[in-house]
Structure 1
C-alpha cells in the first residue's frame, strides 16, 4: 500500500519524497488533456439541440438521444475500459480508446443522420471514458488527481458556450465531435505509459456482461422507470450471485466488501446528483425570478461552474495534508447547503452562489473520494476501483436532472 507520510488524509506517497521527474512520470497537463474533453460530450450539446433537431427534421426530444447515447457510453465504457486497462495494460487501453474516439467523431461529422449521430456519440463516449479512467489511474498524488478532475469540471463549465461557438463558426456536427480533442494527449502519454497489465486474473466475460446490463438499465431508469428498474434489480441480484462464484472477476469481491470504497463511491454519487440536478434546476429558477433571456442565463451559469472547477484543484491538492474526516464533513455540508439554499432563494446572486458551492463540492469530491476509494483496495485492483468509482459519479450525472424533473412535475 501507499506511504501516508503526507498526513492523515493522504493516500499517495508524499510528493516531497519522490524525484520531481522520475522516469516514466507523465506530466499532469497531459493527463488533464486526456481526461477533460469527455465533458464536451456531456455538456457541449446543451445549447445546440434546437439547431440539430431543425436540420435533422426531428423533434428536440429525438435529438437528445445523442446526449443519452453519450451518457450510456461513458457509463458502460467506464467499467469496461477500466477492465481492459487492468487486464491488457495501459498501452492497449490507450490505443483502443484512441481509435474509438476518432471513429465516433468521423461518424458525427460526415453523416448527418440521427442513427449515425447516436452511434458516433456512443463510440466517442466509450473511448473518452477509457481515456479518463486511464488518466486517473496514472496519477500518483492527490495534487495530480486534482488536476485531472478539475479539468473535467472546467471543461464542463465552458462546454455549452464552446459548443455554441463551434456551431456558429462551423456546424453543430463539429460541436458534437469536440471530445476528439482528448486524442491529442494520447501520443505523449503513450511514450511514458507503463508496460504490461496489472491484473493477472483471467478475464470475466459473464461479470462484464452483467455489469453492462446493470449499468444500461440504471441509465434508462429516468426514461423507462418500471421496466428499467425491474431489469436493474434482476441484474444486480445476478451480479451478486456471480460475485460469490467469481470473487476475482470483472468486479472484484474486495470492492463490495470494502466499506471505505463503498462510502467514497456513494458520496461521490450523491454530490454529482446535487450538482448536475442544480445545473438543470437553477436556470429554471433564474428564468422564473429574473427577466434574463436563455442566452443571458447561459452566460451567467459559466462563472459558478468555472469557479467550482478551478477551486476544486486546490481542495483536492490540500486534502493530502488534511484530516480525512474534516474534508469529508465539509464536502457533505456543502452538498446539503447548496440545494437547500437554491430551493428557498429567489435572488439571482444567491442562486448562482449555490451553484458554485455545489460545483466545488462535486468536482472536489470526485478527486478527494477517488483517492480515498482507491487507497482502500490492493494496488492490483486500482484500475478497476477507479472505473467503478467513476461509474458511481457518472450515474449521479444521469440521476440529478431526472430527479429535478420529477420534483418539478
Structure 2
C-alpha cells in the first residue's frame, strides 16, 4: 500500500508516466464487467419469453456469468503474473468477444449459459488487469467506483438498450471494455516472478471448487458437501505444493482470508438487494420496468461515486477501523430492507449496500494485496476478486429464490 501511495504521489498530476495507464482507461477496462451482472436485472421476463422458459431458467445466464468471473479472475491473474499485461489482455479480450458473439447469435438457454460464462471469463481478466495496473489508492478507488457506477446504471441501460434494439444487444454491453485494451497494453506491470512449474491439479481443484460453490444456491444438498470436500482436498494439495496454483503464502494468511470473507459478504448483500429491488419497488410502490431502473439510479450512483473518494481516503484510516465501518454498513442494509416498506428507507438500504460493497472491493483489495509477498500480489488480487465475485452467483440467486411464492 505504501508503494501505491508513493507511485500515486509521483504521478498524481500531469501526463501519465511512461508505462502508466491513464485513470479513465482503467475505469473503462474494468467497469463494463458490471453490465454482465446488472444489465439483465430488468430483462429476466424478456429472456424467459425469448427462450420459452421460466424466470429462474433465464436467470441461469446470470449465474453462469457469476461462475465465469469467479473462475476467470484467478485463472487470468495467474496468466498476468506469469506472462504480463499484454498476454492477459489479449486472452481476456478474445474471450469477451467470443462469448458476446454466442450471446448475440444464439437465443437459447444453453447458448445463454455458455456465452455468458465465456464472456465473463474475459471480463474478469480485463478487470483484474485494471486493478493490477492501478498504481495508487486514488486509481484503485476509480476502478472500484467504475464497477459500482456501471452496476448502478446497468439495469436501466440494459432495459433501454433492449427497448431500442434487443435483449441480445443489452447482453453485449460488457464488450465495451475491449475499447480500452489498446491503451491498457501500454501499461508496464511485468510478471511478478520467474515462472514456476505449472500446477494443473491445483488449477483443476480450484475450478471444481468454484463450480460447486456457484451451484450451492441452486442445489445445496448436492453441491454443499461437494464444496466442503473440494475445499479440504485443495487445502491438502496446498501442503503438497505450497508454490502451486494457489500459493500457500497467500492462502494461509489470516488477514488476507478475512479481507476475502468480508468482501464476499458485502457483495452478497449488494447483489441480492440489486436483484430484489424491482420486486420490492413493484410491491411497495407499484413501480415496474424502466421506472424502477430510473429510481435505482440514485442509491447505486451515490454508492458508486462516494466509494471512489472513500477508497482514496482509506490510506489514512487504520485497517481495523475501515473493516468495522464496512461490516456495520453492510449489515445495516439488509436489516433495514427487511423491516421497512417505506420506499425512501428501501432506497437508503440499497445505498448502504452499494456503498459498502463498492468501497469494500477497493479498500479490501488494497488490504489483501498489502499483506502478501510482493511476488504473489497478482495471484492474491485474483483470489481476492474471486471471493468478491462469487457473490455475483449467490446474491441474484438468493433474491430470485426469496421472491418465489411459497406453496
Shorter-normalised TM range: over 0.9
Q: CA deviation at 1:255?
A: 1.4
8 Å CA contact 1:90, 1:197 repeated in 2: no
Q: CA deviation at 1:322?
A: 2.3
> Which residue does 1:386 correspond to in 2?
381
> Which residue does 1:293 correspond to in 2?
288
Do residues 15 (structure 1) and 8 (structure 2) align?
yes
> Which residue does 1:201 correspond to in 2?
196
> Which residue does 1:123 correspond to in 2?
118
Tell me the distance in 2 between the aligned counterparts of 1:55 and 1:16: 52
Tell me the distance in 1 between the aligned counterparts of 2:397 and 2:44: 18
> Which residue does 2:71 correspond to in 1?
76
8 Å CA contact 2:67, 2:117 repeated in 1: yes
Of the structure 1 ranges 258-267 and 104-113, higher mean CA displacement relative to structure 2 is found in: 104-113
What are the equivalent positions in structure 2 for 1:168-207 lying under 5 Å apart?
Answer: 168-196=163-191, 198-207=193-202
> Which residue does 2:84 correspond to in 1?
89
State which of 209, 216, 231 in structure 2 corresponds to 1:214: 209
What TM-score results when the alignment is normalised by the length of structure 2? 0.93
Tell me the distance in 1 between the aligned counterparts of 2:50 and 2:401: 30
Of the structure 1 ranges 18-27 and 75-84, higher mean CA displacement relative to structure 2 is found in: 18-27
> Which residue does 2:133 correspond to in 1?
138
Q: Unmatched 5+ residue regions in structure 1?
A: 5-10
Structure 1 SS opposite 2:312? helix
> Which residue does 2:360 correspond to in 1?
365
> Which residue does 1:7 correspond to in 2?
none
Tell me the distance in 2 between the aligned counterparts of 1:237 and 1:368: 29
> Which residue does 1:3 correspond to in 2?
2
Do residues 52 (structure 1) and 51 (structure 2) align?
no
What TM-score results when the alignment is normalised by the length of structure 1? 0.93
8 Å CA contact 1:91, 1:194 repeated in 2: no
State which of 242, 246, 269 in structure 1 corresponds to 2:241: 246
Structure 2 SS opposite 1:192? coil
Q: Deviations over 1:215-270 (max 9, x none)?
A: 00000001110111121111111101100010011111011221211111111111
Tell me the distance in 1 between the aligned counterparts of 2:206 and 2:294: 38
Residues 275 and 196 of structure 1, relative CA distance in 2, 3 Å threshold: closer
What are the equivalent positions in structure 2 for 1:288-327 lying under 5 Å apart?
Answer: 288-327=283-322
Tell me the distance in 1 between the aligned counterparts of 2:149 and 2:55: 27
